[in-house]
Structure 1
Amino acid sequence: MSASRALGWAAFVLGTAAAFAGSPHRGGAVPRARVDRFEDATADLPAVSATQLAEWIRSREPGLRVIDLRSADAFEAYRIPGARRHDAESLDRLASSDRDVLVLVSADGRIPAQAGRHLRNSGAREILVLRKGVRGWLEEVINPVLGAGTTPRARQRIEARAELSRYFGGQPRIGTPGSPSAGRAMPATDDVDTDIAHLRRRGCG
């Protein structure tokens, strides 16, 4: 076998092994079915849903660190519980360990490429992006519209989601989005700051 073919075979074996290695978080405890690839081409990082993040925060997941990359004003207006704000300069000085899982938060889920580059060598066990950012948190955790559920198991899952929302001060509604039964406790807009303003007037900020 030639040297080039041997190197190619080795690369294939290593790539295949990596694909089945699973998450390093808690020895693979982060369920891959609930973690999607981040769609923004500027930062090739996995994404986590707001519901999953809320579950981790409520259960005080060891090593979880929520890093908010928004402006100081936006962070003061509304923050995810336990989040800490960092800008580009402080990211350079962020110290992590192999026990840490970093979740990066923006307004809409788009993370600057340089943020990912700053953190790749931080030593963290895993670096994730909050899917849809603060908007996703508001939609999934604080102001969710949940299906009615047609089976006992479905109703149990829905009630668990509703209980999670209420834990964080949310107001879950049962029904389909836009239906009269669902209601609109917080009007949906295309602007996260406007949604936060509605939320603060509702008393959840």
Structure 2
Amino acid sequence: MKFKDLSLNQKLGLFAILLGIIALFTHDPTKATYERVDVKKFSLEINSPSKYITPMELAEKIISGTNFFVIVDLRNPNEYEKGTIPGAINLSSKDLYQNVLQRNQKIILFSEDDTKSLNAWLALKALDYKDVLVLKGGYQGWTDEVVFPKIPLDTTTVGKEKFEKMKQISSYFGGSPILISEGKAVQTQIEVQKQTPQVQKPAVSLPKPRGASKPKREGC
């Protein structure tokens, strides 16, 4: 079987084995200390959904302000400047080897999609970072599920309540839900409360994003 035909988890498993071999014989040029990699443990973690956090879970944590974590945007600086998740800092994969992050911090990684973030997750695990999560779906997932979520048109009480909740959450992050009927965005007479969610701003002690603007809505 060719490498390109392997599943993502199989590729990551091979990467974990490679890290284990490297850890036995080498050290990072920046003097970051590698731990011996437990390949069996890595394989279990790679195949476990526990390494992920969903966009909605992250949104609720940010709004509550009760969790302390570092959100790392692994995309290039240009993409970061166009829009990012509130409180996120912009680091490259290379930066992760420079001991910029503390090992006792809770870290949430995201990029365009999951692949780059999962590679970074493996690298941090090899560097003995214990509490590292990957944002499921990356920044695109954040935009589609939190900032501009698509909600099927439902004029029932339950539908209105769901719309109101999603409206409050997306509004907090500068967006709004999109109502969908037969695969198309529609206008509706559903009435929603005008008040914004009564929540505190994220209690995250991080450098402010470098002029990151609100996410832009793309299409319907």
Q: TM-score range by the shorter chain?
A: 0.5 to 0.7
Which of 67, 70, 88 pairs up with 1:65?
Answer: 70
CA RMSD of aligned residues (A): 3.2
- Residues 69-148 of structure 1: matches in 2 within 5 Å? 69-92=74-97, 93=99, 94-97=101-104, 100-111=105-116, 114-120=119-125, 121-124=127-130, 126-148=131-153
Contact 1:51 1:140 in 2 (8 A): yes
Summarize deviations over 1:161-187 as a string: whole Å, max 9, x none. 22100111102122347324269xxxx
Aligned to 2:160: 155
Contact 1:145 1:176 in 2 (8 A): no
Cα offset, 1:113, TM superposition: 5.3
Contact 1:95 1:122 in 2 (8 A): no
* Letter matched to residue 96 of structure 1: R
Cα offset, 1:84, TM superposition: 0.9
- Residues 37-48 of structure 1: matches in 2 within 5 Å? 40-41=8-9, 42-43=11-12, 44=46, 46-48=51-53
Contact 1:67 1:86 in 2 (8 A): yes
Taking structure 1 as the reference length, the TM-score comes to: 0.60
Summarize deviations over 1:75-131 as a string: whole Å, max 9, x none. 12221111011223321212131xx4321111122225541233214444x321111
Report which structure shows greater RCO (CA 8 Å, sep ≥6): 2
Contact 1:176 1:182 in 2 (8 A): no
- Residues 5-44 of structure 1: matches in 2 within 5 Å? 40-41=8-9, 42-43=11-12, 44=46
Mark the runs of 5 or more structure 1 residues left unpaired by the alignment.
1-38, 184-195
Mark the runs of 5 or more structure 2 residues left unpaired by the alignment.
1-6, 13-45, 189-212
* Letter matched to residue 74 of structure 1: E
Which of 173, 176, 179 pairs up with 1:171?
Answer: 176
Aligned to 1:199: 216
* Identical amino acids, percent of aligned pairs: 27
What secondary structure does 1:81 align onto?
A: coil
- The change in CA–CA distance for 1:158 and 1:171 in structure 2 (over 3 A counts) is closer
- The change in CA–CA distance for 1:56 and 1:176 in structure 2 (over 3 A counts) is farther
- The change in CA–CA distance for 1:40 and 1:164 in structure 2 (over 3 A counts) is farther
Residues in 2 aligned to 1:123 and 1:116: alpha-carbon distance in whole angstroms = 9
Taking structure 2 as the reference length, the TM-score comes to: 0.57
Residues in 2 aligned to 1:83 and 1:106: alpha-carbon distance in whole angstroms = 11
Cα offset, 1:51, TM superposition: 1.5
Contact 1:147 1:158 in 2 (8 A): no
* Letter matched to residue 111 of structure 1: K
